[in-house]
Amino acid sequence: MYHLSQNELHKEILKPRIPDNNFTRKGYENNTIPRICFSNSIQNCLMALSIGLYNKTFYVYEPSNNIKIIDNKEIVEKQYVPDAFVTKEIWGIEETELIAVAKIKVFQPTIYHEFKCKNVIDRAYEWEYEILKEYKY
């Protein structure tokens, strides 16, 4: 499971929270369950962030321990997030320490996957990225 952040965290304990984004503000995405968003690949994490990633740097983290989760199947079935079937989003629902595994730089989007968000068709983009540094722990 991977989590992305633009912040370099040092032995940071991350607590579940409700994301502040357009989807949660408009009620398209669940806005009642605090969580830490993860996915099964770096690419899927980038797709979940969607647009505006060009030329940005992110740190890639894994949880340091096994944590209680809401799996992607439940997120998709209960329609907690409209693009979860594409992004393979997983929610950590208890606090965890994150361990840095890589630093990446994002370039241009390559292809997109369409999904329905209420009555509108939206897109989740795949992004070209480069691993700048790998961390060993």
Q: Residue 20 is encoded by which pair of tokens? A: 């502040």
Residues of the domain holding 102: 3-134
- How far is the CA of 48 from the CAs of 11, 66, 137, in angstroms? 24, 22, 26
Q: Which amino acid is at 47?
A: M
Amino acid identity of residue 30, one-letter, is N
Cα torsion angle, 14, 95, 86, 119, sign: negative
Q: Residue 134: pLDDT above 90? A: yes
Residue 113's pLDDT band (cuts 50, 70, 90): confident
Number of domains in the chain: 1
CA atoms within 13 A of residue 84's CA, in its CB half-sphere? 22
Length of the chain: 137
pLDDT at 11: 73
